[in-house]
Copies of this chain bind each other. A is one copy, B any other.
């Protein structure tokens, strides 16, 4: 029997007899004071993907992290807000008792072949096997589920603010440490698998966390399948950090220089 992959274990949903969808936080994907946002995104996406009313594939998701998800069980409540001929809008609430720490919206569509254009190119990077993975064994648990091979802009932790500041832009090969074929869920999780830009720039540890995350999917099932277990090249950058908040934009590049997904988020940071 093949053991279940930690990612599948952590993003598992079960349905109670009363119909409620239930998930459970995973110690393996724990961050500072709650689960890794990417695993929360994945499990919320799963709630829609596995809904019998769902049509098409994911086009966009927005996850609003309103409060900490507490350790233990949670309920997911997916709602089809609007279903057109080709496009569906869904909302998903993650509930713990009467709290809704996380709320998400998803756009799904039956996509057709159309005129295509791919004006942006993947940055130059040495192949992943030529880049040493970051040692994350002493860091938060969730990091050990991935390998981070920084091509440029790796994080350098420091007791004092870097002087001069380091670049806030990172290029990094990303893959599940235990190989797993890329799917919608892991692509959603990878879109949140970047360290805060403010950490890269200044180096000091401080409280920080994502408040809202949007990811836009460019792949179809065939492109996803073609990626297999090959690492994905992630690019992350940020434009402005001020008054407790910073923006971040990302790209996830796949085989043959195809852009699998792009995204943007806002992170809160302390002082």
Residues of A within 8 A of B (CB): 59-60, 62, 64, 66-67, 81-82, 84, 86-87, 89, 91, 99-101, 103, 105, 107, 109, 111-120, 161, 165, 167-168, 198, 201-202, 211-212, 214, 216, 218, 220, 238-245, 247, 249, 251, 259, 262-264, 266, 268-271
Residues on the B chain within 8 Å of A220, using CB: 243
Q: Are B264 and A216 in touch, CB under 8 angstroms? A: yes
When the two chains form the complex, which single residue of B105, B109, B244, B264 contacts A105, counting CB atoms closer than 8 Å?
B105
Min CB gap A85→B, angstroms: 11
Q: Which residue of B lies closest to A61 (CB)?
A: B212
Given A109-B244, A239-B119, A211:B168 Cβ within 8 A = no
Residues on the B chain within 8 Å of A62, using CB: 62, 64, 105, 212, 214
Q: Are A115 and B264 in touch, CB under 8 angstroms? A: no
Min CB gap A145→B, angstroms: 27
Residues on the B chain within 8 Å of A82, using CB: 66-67, 99-101
Q: Are B87 and A201 in touch, CB under 8 angstroms? A: no
When the two chains form the complex, which single residue of B91, B116, B240, B243 contacts A103, counting CB atoms closer than 8 Å?
B91
Provide the bound-state CA to CA distance between A64 and B175, in Å.
31
Min CB gap A234→B, angstroms: 14
Count chain B CB atoms within 10 A of each CB in A99, A120, A259 and give the residue with the most.
Answer: A120
When the two chains form the complex, which single residue of B101, B114, B117 contacts A168, counting CB atoms closer than 8 Å?
B117
Residues on the B chain within 8 Å of A167, using CB: 119
Provide the bound-state CA to CA distance between A118 and B242, in Å.
8
When the two chains form the complex, which single residue of B107, B114, B239 contacts A271, counting CB atoms closer than 8 Å?
B114
Residues on the B chain within 8 Å of A239, using CB: 118-120, 251, 259, 262
Given A115-B202, A119-B201, A243-B113, A212:B60 Cβ within 8 A = yes
Provide the bound-state CA to CA distance between A109 and B268, in Å.
10
Min CB gap A252→B, angstroms: 11
Min CB gap A96→B, angstroms: 12
Q: Are A59 and B266 in touch, CB under 8 angstroms? A: yes
Count chain B CB atoms within 10 A of each CB in A218, A243, A249, A263 and give the residue with the most.
Answer: A243
Min CB gap A133→B, angstroms: 26
Given A105-B103, A114-B244, A119:B262 Cβ within 8 A = no
Q: Which residue of B lies closest to A212 (CB)?
A: B60
Q: Are A264 and B266 in touch, CB under 8 angstroms? A: no
Q: Are B117 and A89 in touch, CB under 8 angstroms? A: no
